[in-house]
Amino acid sequence: MRSPAQLILLLVVLSDLAVLGTTRLSSCIRVLAAQGLLLGLLPVLLAPHLTVHAVSLGLGTVVVKAVVLPWFLAWAIREAAVRREIEPLVGFIASQLLGALALALAFAIAARLPLPTPQQPLLVPVSLATLMIGFLVLTTRRKALTQVVGYLILENGIYLFGLTQTESVPFLIELGVLLAVFVGVFIMGIVVFHINREFDSLDSTRLTELSD
Amino acid sequence: MTLVAVGLLLIVLAGVAATALSRWPAAAAWVFRVLFGAGCVAGGIAALAVLAGTAVPDVRFGGAAPFGAWVFGLDPLAAVFLLAIVSVGAACGFYGLDYLARERGHRAVGAAHLLLALLVTALAVTVIARAAIPFLVGWEVMAVLAYLLVVHEHERRDVRRAGLIYLAVTHVGILLLFAVFATWAGETGDLSFDALAAHPAFVAGRGAMILVLALIAFGLKAGSVPFHFWLPEAHAAAPSHVSALMSGVVIKMGIYGLLRTLVLFGAPPPWWGWVVLALGACSGVLGVVWALAQHDIKRLLAFHSVENIGIILLGVGAGALGMAYGYPLIAVLGFAGAVLHTINHALFKSLLFLGAGAVIHATHTRDIDRFGGVARRMPATAAAFLVGSAAIVGLPPLNGFVSEWVIYQTLLRGGSAGGAIQLAGLGAMVLALIGALALACFAKVVGVMYLGEPRDIAAAGAREPAAGMIRPVVGLAAACIAIGLLPIAVVPAALRVGSVVAGIAPATAGPAAVAAGPATVFTAGLTAALLLAWAARAAVVRRRGHAEAATWACGYAAATPRMAYTASSFAAPLLGAFRSVAGVRTTRTAQAFATHPSDPVLERVVLPAWHGVRAAAMALRPMQRGGLQLYLLYVVLAVVALLFYLFATGRTL
Amino acid sequence: MTWEEVAALGILALTAPAVPGIAVKTKSFLTGRRGAPVLQLYFDLWKLLRKGTVYSRTTTWVFRAAPIVVLASLIAAALFLPLDGRAAPVGFAGDLVAFAGLLALGRFALVLAGMDTGSSFEGMGASREVTIATFAEPTLFLCFIALVLATGDVSLGGMLGAPLAAAWPGAGASLSLVGVSLFVLLLAENSRTPVDDPATHLELTMIHEVIVLDHSGPDLALILYGSALKLALFGVLVVSVFVPRAALAGPVALAVLFGGLGAVAVAVGVVESVMARLRLSRVPQLLVGAAALALFGIILQLH
C-alpha cells in the first residue's frame, strides 16, 4: 500500500462492485454514503499541502454526498415503501461480470488516454471504472431509486476525474459540479414521485404503458 | 512406411473378408479380428517407432501425374494421429462385430464392417499423405464413408436428416480446403507439402486468407463452435461404435489439419492465435453447457466432444500465440498439450461411447432418465464407464489430468510472460470452468445412469453384453489408466511432436519435460495410496462385518425409484445460471412439465439461413422454366453483356 | 521430504478436527451460549470409529470407496502446501492443477456416493454441490493466476512460499484482495454460512450434510475428518497469502501458521454469527463477486 490515497481509491472500486452485488436498497444507499465519505477525504489527501480550499472542498463533498443525498434517498425509500431491487435487466451474475469487464476496460483505456499523469496513477482508471459502473447500474436496474443511485455513482466518477485536472481551481467549478448533482437528484426525485403516484410502483419498465 | 502399407492392406482385407464370408458369421468374425488386429498392430508399431525417434523417409508415387506426385511420409505429428486411429479403430472394429451381430438378418452387416475397415484406411491415408491430392482424396473418401456408416439405420427419418446435414457440412469443408490449397500453391502448381512449406512470403492478404479458410474448413470438421451443429445430430444417429470412431478420431482430423497448416505455414500472426483461443474457450464452455441440457445419452456425449475440441483448441491457440510472440517454450507446451489431449480424448471418448452403446444395446432406449442401477447389472461396463468419466473430467491419476495439466502449464506460463500474451492467462480460468462443468455433467450421467435404482423396466432388465463388447471397453480403460499412471512415458513424446509443430529443436522443451518425472511420482503414488487404503478398509470391514438395510435418507420409509433425483433436476440449477446460452425450452401445464434442449446455433442461425437461401432460390426458379426461347434469350443476353464488358474495359477480343 | 515436513504434516493432520471446533466455540460465545467443547469432533470421531457399519442394499462399491478416496485425495493435496512457508514436500511445475484436481476427485467421489443411494435427498445435495463447485473452481484459479503473476512461479510451493514474501511489498493490495477472495472460497467449499449451514439438519436446506446422510460408522468418521482437513487446508491457503513466513525459522513459522489457522477459524465463526444463509440462487452471485475481487487483483498487477 503506497499511500492512503491509493487505499481510498481501491475502496471506491470495492464500493462500486458492492453496489452491483446488493439487492437491498438500503445497503445501496449506505454504500453510496460510504463512497461519498471516501471521496470527501480525497482532495485533502491529494493536495500537496493542506489549504483551506482543499479542506472546505472535502468537507462540502462529505456533507452533500455522504449526508444530504443519502438522507434524501432514504426518505424517498420510506415514502415509496420499497425495499428490494428485483432481477435487473441482464441478471445479477451478468451485471457483476459486466462490472468486472468495465473495470478491466477502464484500466486498459486509461493507459492509452493522452493525459498528463497525475501524481496518483490510479486516479484516472478508477474514475473511468466508477463512471462505467454507474452507467451500468443506471441502465440495467428496474427500480427508479436504484437508477438514481447509479446516476450518483456516475457523478462520483466524473468528480474523481475532475480531481486529476484541478490542482488549483476556481471555486466555481466545484460549485458547478455540486449543482449538477443537486439538479439531477431534484429532477429524479420529481420523476420518482410522479412514477410512483401514477403507477403505484417504481418499476420503470412499466413506463412503456404510457403510449397507447 | 512398408509396415504402414502392410497394415493398411491387412485392414482392407479384413473388411473384404467380413463381407465375403458373411454367410458364415463366426468364421467371418474370427478372420476379421485376426486381420484387423494384425493391421492395427502393424500401424501402431510403425507409429510408436517414429515417436520414439526413428526418422522415416518419404515415399513418392507417379511423378508425372496431374497436380504432382503422390507423396507419403510419417513424421511425429502424423505418427501420433496414426496411433490414435489404429487403437480406436481396433476397439471400435472389434466392438462392432458383436454390436451389429443382432441385425444380421435384416441389414447388410458385412458391408458395415467393410465400410468401417475402409474408413480406418482412409483416415490413415489422410494422415500419412504429404501432398495435397492424396490428402484431399483421403479426406473425401473418409467423409463419404462416414456418411454411409452414419445412415446405417436409414429407415428412420431423423437418421436421414442427420446424415444429410453431415454430408452438406463436410462438403462445404472440402470445398474450402480446395480453395486453401489452390491459393497456397499459387502459380507453381507443386502441391507436395515440402513445396508448400518452402513457399515465399505471402503478398497482400493471401496468408491471412489461407489461415482463415483453413480455420473454417478444419473447424467444420473438428466441430468447434460455431461450426459444430452437425456433430450432435450425426453422432447421435450413428450406431454406437461408429459414433465412437467419429468422435474419437474423425473429428481429430480437423485438429490434424490445423496443426499441419501450422507446420507448413510457419509462425502465424497473433490475431489467428487469439481467434483460435477464443473459439476454444467458447466451444469448451458452450459445449458442456449444452451437454448438461441433453436427455439423450449419445447427444450428451457428442456435445462433450465439442467441449473437448474446445480444450484442444485452447492448447493450439496458446501454442500459436507462443509462436507468434516468440515464446518457444509456450509454443511447444501448447501443441504438446493439444496433441496429448487429442490422443487421450480419442481413448476416453470412444470408451464412453462404447460403454453407453452397451447399455443402449441392453435396454433399447437412449433416454438417461429411464436408466438407473445399471452398475449392479453390468458391473464391468459400469466400471469402465466410470474410469472414462473420471478421465474426461480430468481427475488424477488418469490420462485427462495429464493432458489438461500440460495445457494449464502453457496458459499459466503465457500469463506470467510479459506483453500482450498475458491475456492468455485467463484461459486457465476458462479451462477450470470447463472442468467444473464437466464434473457436474458426468456426476449427473454416472449417478443417474449407473447408480441408484432402475427407473424403468428396460433398465431393470439390463444384462452384461457379450465378451466381444466388453473387451474393447476394458482395453480402452486400461489404456487410460496406463497413460494417467505414467505421464513420463507420454509427455516427452508429446513434447517432441510439439517441437515439430512449433518448428524448433526438441531440446528447448527441457524444463517442461523435467516436470514429467515428479508428476509420475505423484500419480503413481496417489494410485498406490488409493489401492493400499482400499485393501486396508477391506480387511477391517471383513473382520468387523457390516449390516445391510434399505437406504436410510433420514428415515424416509417408502422411497420408490421414481422419487430419485432425475437428470433434468440435477442439471437445473446450473442450466438456470447459464440460461441465456443454454437454449432450453420449458413447457409447463397443470399436469406435466417437460424441458426440451435445442442447439441455439442450429435453430437460430443455420436453419433460418438455410430457409432464407431456399426461399431466395425458390424466388429464382421462374428463370428456369424450360422453354427453349428463354434459354436462347439468355445466351444472346450473355453475349451482349460480354461485348459491352470488352468495349468498356478497352480490351480486344 | 524432510523430517520437519513430515512432522508439520502430522501436526496438521492431528489438529485439523480442532478448527471447526474453534469456529463453533466462537459462534456459541457470540450468541451467549457455552457451546460444545473445542475438542468435540475428536470425541465424535472416536465414537464413530468404534461403531458398526450399515450399507444400503442399493449401493455399490462406489459408495464404499468414496470415504477413502476423499481422505486420500485431501492428504495428497496437503503434500503440495508449504507449511513452513518456504518449500512444500512435493512440488512440480503446474502442481496447482494437481491440487485442484485432487479436490475435484474427492468431490466427484462424494457426489457419486450420494447418487448411489438412490435417494432424492442425496441427489439434491449432489446437484447443489456441483453447482457451487462450478463457480468455485474458476474463482480458485483466478486466485492462483494472481499468485502466479505476483511470484512468477507456477508451483504451489513457490506461489505460497518465499517468492510470495518477496512479492508482498510491491503487490500488497492485489494480494489482500486475493486473500479475501480465498476466504470467501473457504466458506463456499467447506459449506459454511453464508453458503450452507453446517448446523442445520433440515434436508431441504443442506448441501454437504445431505450428501453424506447414508454413511455410518467408520465411513462417516473418515468423511467428517475429511471435511475438517479440507477446512484446515483452505485455512492454510488463506494464512499463507496473508502472512508469508519465509523469513521465520522453522518452528516459529509453524507456530505462526497454526495461530493463523486459529484466527481463520475464529473469523469463520464470526462470519457465521453475523450473516444469515444466502438464498441458494444467490450463492453463484457471491462466488462471482469473489471472482471479481480476484480479477481486480489481477488487473492491479497488470497495471
Q: What is the pLDDT of residues B453-469, one digit of tens each?
A: 888 888 888 888 888 88
Contacts for B580 with CB less than 8 Å, ≥ 6 apart: A91, A94
C-alpha cell at B616: 431466395
Q: Do B527 and B639 lie in a common domain?
A: no
Per-residue pLDDT tens over the stretch B257-277: 999 999 888 889 999 999 999
Interface contact A94-B580, CB threshold 8 A: yes
Q: What is the pLDDT of residue C90?
A: 86
Give the range among A96-110, A112-126, B175-189, B315-329 with minimum mean pLDDT: A112-126
Question: For the packed helices B328-363 and B399-416, what is the interaxial angle rounded to 10 degrees?
Answer: 150
For the four alpha carbons of C77, C79, C80 and C86, in that order, the dihedral sign comes to positive
Q: What is the pLDDT of residue C5?
A: 86
Q: Is residue A178 scored above 90 in pLDDT?
A: no
Strands C54-56 and B593-597: unpaired
Residues of chain B with C-beta less than 8 angstroms from the C-beta of A93: 577
Q: What is the pLDDT of residue B6?
A: 87
Average pLDDT, chain C: 90
Residues of chain A with C-beta less than 8 angstroms from the C-beta of C294: none
Cα–Cα distance for residue pair B95/B114, rounded to 1 Å: 14
pTM: 0.90
Neighbours of chain C (3+ CB pairs under 8 A): A, B
Burial class of C302 by CB neighbour count within 10 A (0 to 12, 13 to 18, 19+): middle
Question: For the packed helices C250-274 and C162-189, what is the interaxial angle rounded to 10 degrees?
Answer: 30
Kindly report the CA angle at C139 between C138 and C140, in degrees rounded to 5?
A: 90
Amino acid (one-letter) located at C219: D
| CA distances for B613 relative to B51, B602, B608, B610, angstroms | 48, 15, 9, 5
Report the 10 Å Cβ neighbour count for C131.
25
- Bridge partners, residue B548, by sequence: C55
The domain tally of chain B equals: 2
C-alpha cell at B409: 502449464
Question: For the packed helices B426-449 and B399-416, what is the interaxial angle rounded to 10 degrees?
Answer: 160
Q: Is residue B251 scored above 70 in pLDDT?
A: yes
| CA distances for C187 relative to A14, B592, C138, C206, C274, angstroms | 20, 38, 15, 14, 14
- Chain A touched by B551 (CB under 8 Å): no
Q: Do B510 and B396 lie in a common domain?
A: yes
How sure is the predictor about B190, in pLDDT bands with cuts at 50, 70 and 90?
Answer: confident
Which of these three, B513, B536, B559, is where a domain ends? B536
Judge contact between B149 and B112, C-beta under 8 A: yes
**CA B160: distance to chain centroid?**
21
- Chain A touched by B577 (CB under 8 Å): yes
Residue A157's nearest CA partner among A13, A24, A3 is A13
C-alpha cell at B446: 454416472
Q: What is the pLDDT of residue A203?
A: 67
Interface contact A94-B577, CB threshold 8 A: no
Strongest mean pLDDT among A66-75, B185-194, C3-12: C3-12
Average pLDDT, chain A: 79
How sure is the predictor about C152, in pLDDT bands with cuts at 50, 70 and 90?
Answer: confident
The better pLDDT of the pair B307, A164 is held by B307
Half-sphere exposure of residue A53: CA atoms within 13 angstroms, side-chain side: 14
- Chain C touched by B618 (CB under 8 Å): no
Which of these three, B486, B512, B536, is where a domain ends? B536
Strongest mean pLDDT among B391-395, C169-173, C213-217: B391-395
* Residue of C68, C122, C154 lying closest to B553 (CB–CB): C122
Judge contact between B18 and B110, C-beta under 8 A: yes
- Chain B touched by A81 (CB under 8 Å): no
B272 phi and psi angles, rounded to 5 deg: -65, -40
Residues of chain C with C-beta less than 8 angstroms from the C-beta of B425: 145, 148-149, 298
Q: Is residue A168 scored above 70 in pLDDT?
A: no
Nearest Cα residue in chain A from C289? A96
- Bridge partners, residue B61, by sequence: B70
Residues of chain C with C-beta less than 8 angstroms from the C-beta of A13: 296
Judge contact between B653 and B643, C-beta under 8 A: no
- This model of the complex carries an ipTM of 0.95
Share of chain B above pLDDT 70, in %: 97
- The whole-angstrom distance between A142's CA and the closest CA on chain C is 18
Kindly report the CA angle at B175 between B171 and B181, in degrees rounded to 5?
A: 140
C-alpha cell at B363: 435396454
- Chain A touched by C299 (CB under 8 Å): yes
SS3 B535: helix
Under DSSP, the state recorded for A67 is I
Neighbours of chain A (3+ CB pairs under 8 A): B, C
Interface contact B415-C149, CB threshold 8 A: yes
Interface contact B580-A93, CB threshold 8 A: no
Question: For the packed helices B2-20 and B25-52, what is the interaxial angle rounded to 10 degrees?
Answer: 170
How sure is the predictor about C203, in pLDDT bands with cuts at 50, 70 and 90?
Answer: low
Cα–Cα distance for residue pair B409/B598, rounded to 1 Å: 35
- Bridge partners, residue B296, by sequence: B367
Contacts for A92 with CB less than 8 Å, ≥ 6 apart: A21, A23, C282, C285
Interface contact A111-C303, CB threshold 8 A: yes
Q: What is the pLDDT of residue B576?
A: 87
Judge contact between C137 and B571, C-beta under 8 A: no
- The whole-angstrom distance between C290's CA and the closest CA on chain A is 10
- Bridge partners, residue B584, by sequence: B597
Residue A164's nearest CA partner among A205, A198, A130 is A130
Judge contact between B510 and B491, C-beta under 8 A: no
| CA distances for C50 relative to B384, C13, C46, angstroms | 35, 20, 7
Judge contact between B245 and B137, C-beta under 8 A: no
Interface contact A10-C173, CB threshold 8 A: yes
The better pLDDT of the pair B422, C141 is held by C141
Strands B59-61 and B70-72: antiparallel
What average pLDDT does range A149-160 have in this prediction? 86
Burial class of B547 by CB neighbour count within 10 A (0 to 12, 13 to 18, 19+): exposed
Q: Is residue A211 scored above 60 in pLDDT?
A: no
Q: What is the pLDDT of residue A170?
A: 47
Q: What is the pLDDT of residue C187?
A: 93
**CA B113: distance to chain centroid?**
21
* Residue of C112, C121, C135 lying closest to B553 (CB–CB): C121
* Phi-psi label, residue C40: left if phi above 0, alpha if psi -120 to 50, beta otherwise: alpha
Kindly report the CA angle at B540 between B539 and B542, in degrees rounded to 5?
A: 65
Nearest Cα residue in chain B from C210? B553
Q: What is the pLDDT of residue A1?
A: 47
Please give the residue range of the domain that contains residue B435.
267-536
Q: Is residue B352 scored above 90 in pLDDT?
A: yes
| CA distances for C131 relative to B4, B97, B438, angstroms | 48, 41, 11
Q: What is the pLDDT of residue A141?
A: 85
Q: What letters, b where the CB count within 10 A reaches 16 and e where it falls short, cover B360-383? A: bbbbebbebbbbbbbbbbbebbbb
SS3 C258: helix
Residue C281's nearest CA partner among A91, B477, B275, B443 is A91
Q: What is the pLDDT of residue B29?
A: 86
- Tell me which residues of chain B, numbers 374 to 393, contact chain C at a CB-CB cutoff of 8 Å: 375-376, 382, 386, 390, 393
Strands in chain C per DSSP E: 54-56
Residue matched to cell numbers 453384453: B465
Residues in chain A, total: 212
Give the range among A35-49, B305-319, C240-254 with minimum mean pLDDT: A35-49
Q: What is the pLDDT of residue C239?
A: 94
- Chain A touched by C292 (CB under 8 Å): yes
Q: What is the pLDDT of residue B88?
A: 95
Nearest Cα residue in chain B from C59? B452
Q: Is residue B329 scored above 70 in pLDDT?
A: yes
Cα–Cα distance for residue pair C16/C10, rounded to 1 Å: 10
Average pLDDT, chain B: 88
Interface contact B390-C90, CB threshold 8 A: no
For the four alpha carbons of B422, B426, B427 and B431, in that order, the dihedral sign comes to positive
B195 phi and psi angles, rounded to 5 deg: -65, -40
* Residue of C172, C293, C299 lying closest to A107 (CB–CB): C299
Domain ranges of chain A: 4-208
Q: What is the pLDDT of residue C250?
A: 80
What value does the CA radius of gyration of chain C take, rounded to a whole number of Å? 19
Q: Do B277 and B373 lie in a common domain?
A: yes
* Residue of A1, A7, A21 lying closest to C289 (CB–CB): A21
Contacts for B133 with CB less than 8 Å, ≥ 6 apart: B65, B67, B68, B70, B191
Judge contact between B323 and B262, C-beta under 8 A: yes
Q: What is the pLDDT of residue A192?
A: 72
Residues of chain A with C-beta less than 8 angstroms from the C-beta of C296: 13-14, 17, 100, 103
* Residue of C286, C288, C303 lying closest to A107 (CB–CB): C303
What average pLDDT does range B228-233 have in this prediction? 93
**What are the start-end ranges of the H helices in B326-425?**
328-363, 379-393, 399-416
- Chosen for mutation from B429, B574, B580, B581 (greatest number of chain A CBs closer than 10 Å) is B580
Per-residue pLDDT tens over the stretch A81-102: 777 777 777 888 888 999 999 9
C-alpha cell at C155: 508451483
- Chain B touched by A97 (CB under 8 Å): no
